Amino acid sequence: MLEQGTKAPDFTLKDKDGKEVRLSDYLGRKVVVYFYPKDNTPGCTKEACAFAGAFKQYERIGVTVIGISKDSETSHRKFADKYELPFILLSDPELTAIKAYDVWQEKKLYGKVSMGVVRSTYIVDEQGVIEKVYPKAKPDTNAAEILEYLMES
């Protein structure tokens, strides 16, 4: 995992509509960048819906929310439409940002070892520096925990 105080790696990825989004486009405002394993799975859906539920509060304090997985743009579009997700979802099939943020790691499931995205969240400050890291984020509390931190800081 990247550490607090590290310059956040810039990336350019496509959103659910095929539009290119760069992290550096958001310099001057805080950005929550959360990485998740897969669209439409129980944990990832719970996490996305929690961010959607808190979206107006994030907007009110001027924070952009970006979710990233290796799913396709089409998968993201269906996921966003199905659950009315108002924030940015980026597709990273080449694992560009996923590897740059060190969230592509070995995972164990039922004794089987494989590589995959470890659910993690970064808060990037207005200067593009990682302000806070949430490794192994919990899908049901991640959005609220981050919002609480942002409201206090």
pTM: 0.96
Which of the residues are catalytic?
Answer: 44
Quick one: CA dihedral 122, 124, 125, 131, positive or negative?
A: positive
pLDDT tens, residue by residue, 59-102: 999 999 999 999 999 999 999 999 999 999 999 999 999 999 99
- Measuring CA to CA, how many Å separate 38 from each of 68, 82, 90, 127, 138? 9, 15, 12, 29, 15
Q: Binning pLDDT at 50, 70 and 90, where does residue 108 land?
A: confident
Q: Which CATH number fits domain 12-144: 3.40.30.10, 3.30.413.10, 3.40.710.10, 2.60.40.10?
A: 3.40.30.10
Q: Can you give the residue ranges of every domain in the chain? A: 12-144
Query: Angle at Cα 60 formed by Cα 119 and Cα 29, nearest 5°?
Result: 65
pLDDT tens, residue by residue, 7-44: 999 999 999 999 999 999 999 999 999 999 999 999 99
- Pairwise CA distance, residues 66 & 58, whole Å: 11
